[in-house]
Amino acid sequence: MREAPLEARIWYATLLTRVRGLRPAERLLTGGQPGAQSGARCVDPGAQRPEAQAALRLCEAEIHLAGGRLTEATTAAEAGLRLAAQAGNRGLPPRGHVVMAVCSVRALDLTTGLLYANRLRDAALLGQENLMPGQCVWAAAQALEARDGMESVAHLLKGILHDEVLTRDLLVSQPAAAPWLVRAGRRLGDTELAERTVRTMGRLALMNRSFRSVQAAAEHATGLFARDADALEAASERHLDPWARASALEDASRVRSVRVAERDRAVDLLRRAADAYLGAGASRDLARVQSRLRELDDHGGRPARGRTRVSRLTDTEFAVAELVSQGLTNGRVGSQLYISPHTVAFHLKKIFRKLDVTSRVELARSWNRILVEERGDHVRESGPDFLVRPAVAARQAG
């Protein structure tokens, strides 16, 4: 049987990725050969065109992101964006910009996240996001919320839920989106936003019974809205997306922690969430969970990082250094990490001493260099990828 053209395989792999059929999606791109490079067996004469290769790399990036592999996702997205630029294609870049925005925010690289959020905004103004409009808005909203708070994106969230196309595109293809919107509704005091999300996700689950990722998202959103810890734990088991699974564990912990009798269970769930976020390279989420662990458990529960020079920093100090190096004030850093500005200042003093710098300006100038050196010197011996990719490299793509 003759192999399908590359473009057809990419299209089918993209659909599979939306519902988290990651293994069959990867097999489609590699021609079904274990360990083969993507597109290696392709005999399609048009497969080597920059446009086709750009689509291939961007599909790979989406698969990696869905699998919780942020570093690989970013590398593939950067390659895809470069190829799309070479081909002069304006329709493909939003796919890469979504991956870059989401990866950057999860990895605490807010500067890069905002860069790609702005590019998604520009694509929307030019009508270039027609293939995945809901995901474009959601990715941009996450980056803007990380910098300016949930109130700053309230209008975007309402726009998503009042547009059927945006809603269907987003909630079916991103398992973490529905619970994120419920959480947003709670923080904004917008009960209608939360209720509408749960109702819409429930309808989509009824129409897509065979898709486990959609069922998990519906169970997660409903459990979160109802504050049902059992449902949230069940959702965490059903989720195929590692980040969404960690999110469900975190939500279940928060519900259980309200009752003193369930405090130990809440700590255990939160530790599992921390491990999952660490494995996915989600530094921002890890910092939030560790802050919560310190509240619940005097023993902390900080997952170990690789043996590098920056391991002299605690995880909170690492997160503070990353955000301060991007120019955020102590107040904004504190709101990101759920600590007070006074605590941020306290951590900064220790960071200056451990890294032998004397000011915020010097920290900002040297931080990316330190990370680059650590990546080069210790990439083989380090464990899960906690270190954030340098923003400068990301800005060169697309």
Write a three-state SS string for the chain. Answer: CCCCCHHHHHHHHHHHHHCCCHHHHHHHHHCCCCCCCCCCCCCCCCCCCHHHHHHHHHHHHHHHHHCCCHHHHHHHHHHHHHHHHHHCCCCCHHHHHHHHHHHHHHCCCHHHHHHHHHHHHHHHHCCCCCCCHHHHHHHHHHHHHHHHCHHHHHHHHHHHHCCHHHHHHHHHHCCCHHHHHHHHHHHHCCHHHHHHHHHHHHHHHHHCCCCHHHHHHHHHHHHHHHCCHHHHHHHHHHCCCHHHHHHHHHHHHHHHCCCHHHHHHHHHHHHHHHHHHHHCCCHHHHHHHHHHHHHHCCCCCCCCCCCCHHHHCCHHHHHHHHHHHCCCCHHHHHHHHCCCHHHHHHHHHHHHHHHCCCCHHHHHHHHHHHHHHHHHHHCCCCCCCCCCCCHHHHHCCC
Asked if 218 and 195 touch (Cβ cutoff 8 Å), the reply is no
Q: What tokens were used for 138?
A: 């959601």
Asked if 272 and 285 touch (Cβ cutoff 8 Å), the reply is no
pLDDT of residue 392: 33
What gap in Å lies between CA 32 and CA 252, rounded to an integer?
A: 38
pTM for the model: 0.75
pLDDT of residue 131: 62
Count how many Cα atoms sit within 13 Å of the Cα of residue 359 in the half-sphere of its side chain. 3
Q: Residues of the chain whose pLDDT is less than 70? A: 1-3, 32-47, 124-131, 297-311, 315, 371-398
What gap in Å lies between CA 125 and CA 135, rounded to an integer?
A: 15
What gap in Å lies between CA 386 and CA 313, rounded to an integer?
A: 12
Which of 324, 237, 249, 238 lies closest to 285 in space, CA to CA?
Answer: 249
Cβ atoms within 10 Å, residue 345: 13
What gap in Å lies between CA 57 and CA 79, rounded to an integer?
A: 7
pLDDT of residue 391: 38
pLDDT of residue 381: 40
pLDDT of residue 157: 87
Non-local CB neighbours of 363 within 8 Å, separated by 6+ positions: 321, 324, 325, 351, 352, 355, 357
pLDDT of residue 300: 44
| Burial environment of residue 168 by CB neighbours within 10 A (0 to 12, 13 to 18, 19 or more) | middle
pLDDT of residue 393: 38
pLDDT of residue 17: 94
What gap in Å lies between CA 119 and CA 289, rounded to an integer?
A: 30
pLDDT of residue 104: 92
What gap in Å lies between CA 180 and CA 34, rounded to an integer?
A: 35
Backbone angles phi, psi at 31, to 5 degrees: 70, 20
Distance of CA 139 to the CA centre of its chain: 9
End-to-end Cα, the chain, rounded Å = 37
pLDDT of residue 362: 86
Q: What tokens were used for 25?
A: 């999606």
Of all residues in the chain, the percent with pLDDT exceeding 90 is 45
Q: Please report, as a single letter, which amino acid is at residue 278.
A: L
